[in-house]
Structure formats: C-alpha cells, structure tokens
Amino acid sequence: MESPNGGRLSRIVCICCFIVLGFTSFVYYPRWNKSGGEATISWDVSGYYWYLPSIFIYKDLKHQGFKDSIFAKYHPSSDFQQAVPLPDGNYAMKYASGMAVMYLPSFAVGHVAAGALGYPQDGFSKPYQFCLQLCAFLVCLLGIWHLHKLLLLYYSDKVTAWTIAILVLGTNYLNTAGIDVGMSHGWLFTVYVFLLLNTVYFYRSFQTKYAVRIGLLTGLATLTRPTDALSLLIPLLWGMESVSPTAIKDRVLLIARHYKALLLAVVCAAMVVSVQLIYWKYATGHWIFYSYQDQHLYFRSPSIWNYTFSYRSGWLRYSPMLLLAFAGLIPFWLKGKNKVAITAFFLLNYYFVCSWSIWWFGGRAMVQSYPVLFFPIAALVDAAFSRKLLLWVLAPCVLVFTYLNIWFTYQSHTGGLYDIDTMNEAFYKRVIGRWHVPDATVVLRDNTELYEGQPQHMQVIYQNDFEADTSIHNNATPIQGRRSLLLDSSTRETIEYKFPYSAKAGWLRMSADMHCDEREYDIWKMAQIVGRLYKKGQKQKENMFRIYRILDNGQTRTITLDMKMSGDADTASIGFWNGYGNKRLVIDNIRVISFDE
C-alpha cells in the first residue's frame, strides 16, 4: 500500500541513518586513511579492483609484472591472492569482474585526483583509496534510500521507518555500509534494491525499459558473484502467491504473453555476463575458467549449523537481528505479497551460502539478500504494531540485538574482543556484551581453560632456568643469568620438557619469562606455549596459547598457561612451538606449579 503521508517519518530515519553511517565510515573507522590490510583497497577488495590498474595503468592484465612493487609499498594482503597462476606462467584474476566495472568511476576520479594532488598515479595511493571509499558509501546510501521507497509500496510509513532503523543499526549492514564499504556485499545490496523496484514497476506496466533494467541488473549481480544468478528468481516469480497448479499455469501464460520482454532481459543479462567470458578467453584461452581452485560449493553437505551458529563467525550468532527474518515468515506468509519470489530466493540463497566450502567467511555473504529478507521483517514489525503483546515481545529483542550489533561492530575493529579466526565458545561466553574484561581472559582465545580464583596448596613441580643446559649456544641476550632459550627461523620447535606427574592436584599452571624485539602480527605464524598430559607415553590432552597475543615489541613478560588435570595422567610437559614465523623469541625461567581450587 502507498504511505498516505508520503513517507515523512521514514525519510527522517533514512537521513539519521546516513549520519550514523557517515560518522562510522569517515570519523570512527576511515579505512581510506589506513594502510596494509586495513586500507579500503586491501584483501578481497584489492582482488575485485586489481583489473583496473592492470588494464589502465600498467597495461599488464596477464603477466602482472607490477605486483611485487605494489606489495612492497602497500601490502594489500599477506601474499598475492588477487590472481591465480596459470601453467604458462601468466595469471588469471581470482574474482569475477563485476566489482571492477562498478569501481571504474571512482578509479577514474582517483586517478585524476592523484595526478592533480601530487600523489603517485599507481592505483593504490590515498586519492584512489578515498574515492573508492566515498563512492562505495554513496552507493550504500542509494540502496537505503530506495529500499525505503520500495517498502513504502507495501507497508506504512511507520513500519518502513522502523524497518530501515533495524537494518542499519541492528544488523551487520552497519559494518558493511559504514566500514567494509569496498566489499561487494553493500554494492550488491543496492543492486538488489533496484532489481526489486524495477521488477515491481515491470509487473505494473510491462514496459520494455523495465525489462532492460532487470536484465542489466541480474547480469551485473551475476558478473559480480556468479552465485547471484539466483537473482533471476525474483523477476521470474514476482507476483506469485502460491505454487499451486493454477498459479504455475498462470505464470507460464503470463511469460508467454510477454516473451519478447523476457527475451530482451535475457539478452541484456547475457551481454553483461559476456564481459567475464571474454576476459577468461583472453587470459586463459578458455571461455569458462574456475579461478577459486580448491574452494567449491558442496550442495550435498552444506555447513548450515556452522555457517549460522558457530562461535567463530556464525551469521545469526553475530547478527542475531536476522532471526526476525525467520520469525517474520509467518506473518509474511499470512498477509504479505509476492510470497513465492521472496521465500524461494531467501531459502535458496541461504542454502547456496551455507554450501560454500569456506563457511567461516561469516554473515557478510547474506547482506546483499537483505532487501529480500527485510520483507518478512517488515511484515513482523507491521504485525507487532497491530498486536500489543507481540510488540512487547519484539521491542526488547530489537533493543538487545541492536546493542549486540553495535558491540560486535566495535569489537571487530577497535575493541579487540572479536577475532573471526580464533573465536570460540569459551571466549565468546566470557566477553559477549562486555566492554572490558580481565587481561588474562585473552588466553581463552586459544585455550578453553582458565582458572581465575585463588589457587590453593600451590607446589612447584618443575622449573628450568637453563643455566645448567650446556647444549644452548645462541647469540641471544639472556633474560636472566648466562643462558636463555632462543626460538627463531631456524628453530621451529624446542625439545619438549617432560616431567613425571600424577594428578595429586586439580590444576597445573605453566609459565615462562619471554622477550621479543619484534612482535609477530600474523596469527598463523605466532609462537605458542604448549602444555601436554600423557599416560604411558600416549598424549591425553594439549593446551596452548599464542604468545604474541600479549607480548609486544621490546617487551619482557611472564606468560602463563593453565591446564586442568586428567585423573590418570602420569607425565606432563611444557614446550614451545615457533610455527612458521621468523621472529626471535627469547625464553627463560620455566616454572610449573600444581594447585587446587
């Protein structure tokens, strides 16, 4: 239904949301002004973008001879992940070219600005970063503004206003449109909004111009992320309210009557997608090329539970507001419009996302589908305003979920209490919703056990200061005395210091003094302190902690690791693993104590 007052309240809410997103993007966390992996053009974004400097600046789309100089200066990712090597020594871009097409205007403006302002015209200097950030931000604002126009076609101004507020403040769209604006998901969100609007207008008038736009938009979505070819379901099924034989027959007849418009849309979509086919033929000699190598869709074994609820990166665990989309299906099925298109796309897209082998990429992959998912949420909000009991249940949930979303967004970037790579149940439960936790809590990022009470009956059962270890010959400055153990690029794992111990107490606390001149920041290269329990030579239990989580440049401190005893262990050990890092770590004064709770 059309809003009787033209949507005044929802427009005000949109403007307020624009202010929030602008503050987030340009004041709180301005990625354009950051470097390395935190810059706007880094990681996946740099992969989408890599086509543009390759074509327009370096004229080197195949050989990538310029990549080493860019990595040496800007470090957009840990290694060259933007393209995959081919057998002939050339490279093919890993990501499809849709985002590069959409980035092109900001790249052109950035290139001109770099020249005018005296920055390097290399594709990655500050003007390029800022222009892409600004353009992406404006694209997201367009998406929000036109989503409010779309919702006003079906819901009241008040419902639309609350739905927009829930989207921006209560979901991971806040992070997508405010911080990670270069990623494809915010851009595709806007593409889907325009696709939905043009689909609505097409079915009202069946004008050719809307069919052309539908074809171009579905083609662009597919060119950006091939799995978004599912967007075709929206215009094909729009207007259907059931899957009865009569409804299917009516749809077939409707398509037959307007087959010319449908054919035109298909041609337009194919023209857009052909950009990628032409590139693959040029780069690899084949019209079709799979660039994701060992990453695939596994339709027979989708990771539905892990993708949705895992402590590491579960979509609904870290954006719980989207639970309302599932709850909203009930009122939407009862009173909503376009049930088949909305429901089919919602569920099939969700299934596709859960089927991707790298399920831990998180809830961002659902963001582009939010224009569809928010129809059920709007239906739930609408139902709540007409039923006070439902409103009293829904309102507290919205407030709590909004608080958690702001907390997740903050902790992901500056708070430090969320890390997608090593989040687990123990750490999650200790920190969720809190702004400050004890320093020792960081151990739970790697280890599920931490004793925070007052130890009782403490007894030293092993210690080693290395003074009597004549096998140590290194050039490390000792932390204390004449000798200290050194881990460096030539020492991956030390000897394991074992000692006999049966479970006379409930806990072991292992510690060592450690010093580093230069900290390791790559989590997968961090040195570890490792504790183990054995029975008759067989390992029963292992706890570990990544040392560089709390050891900084030039710092010396005592690192501890707790381990709850197993009742039948006869041997314990403490050891150190340097992983794949090359940073020097000096270790001294190993000490193991037993204690009771």
**pLDDT truncated to tens, each residue of the chain (597 aa)?**
444 446 999 999 999 999 999 999 999 999 999 999 999 999 999 999 999 999 999 999 999 999 999 999 999 998 999 999 999 999 999 999 999 999 999 999 999 999 999 999 999 999 999 999 999 999 999 999 999 999 999 999 999 999 999 999 999 999 999 999 999 999 999 999 999 999 999 999 999 999 999 999 999 999 999 999 999 999 999 999 999 999 999 999 999 999 999 999 999 999 999 999 999 999 999 999 999 999 999 999 999 999 999 999 999 999 999 999 999 999 999 999 999 999 999 999 999 999 999 999 889 999 999 999 999 999 999 999 999 999 999 999 999 999 999 999 999 999 989 988 889 999 999 999 999 999 889 999 998 899 999 999 999 999 999 999 988 888 889 999 999 999 988 877 778 999 998 777 899 999 999 999 999 988 888 999 999 999 999 999 999 999 999 999 999 999 999 999 877 889 999 999 987 888 999 999 999 999 998
Rounded Cα distance between 532 and 541, Å, is 6
Contact 325, 369 (CB under 8 A): no
Contact 596, 507 (CB under 8 A): yes
**Distance set, CA 328 to CA 333, 335, 414 (Å):** 8, 11, 33
Q: Where are the alpha helices (DSSP H) in 300-387?
A: 304-309, 315-318, 323-335, 339-355, 370-386
Residue 377 Ramachandran class (φ > 0 left, ψ -120 to 50 alpha, else beta): alpha
Q: Where are the domains of the chain?
A: 1-182, 206-291, 441-596
Lookup: tokens for 417: 């209490």
Q: Is 90 exposed, middle or buried (0-12, 13-18, 19+ CB in 10 A)?
A: middle
Lookup: tokens for 403: 């608080």
What's the CATH class of domain 441-596? Answer: mainly beta
Rounded Cα distance between 182 and 93, Å, is 18
Dihedrals φ, ψ of 145, to 5°?
-60, -45
Greatest Cα-to-Cα distance within the chain, rounded to the nearest angstrom? 92
The span from the first CA to the last CA of the chain, in angstroms, equals: 65
Which residue in this structure is represented by tokens 């183990």? Answer: 532
∠ CA 92-93-96, nearest 5°, is 130
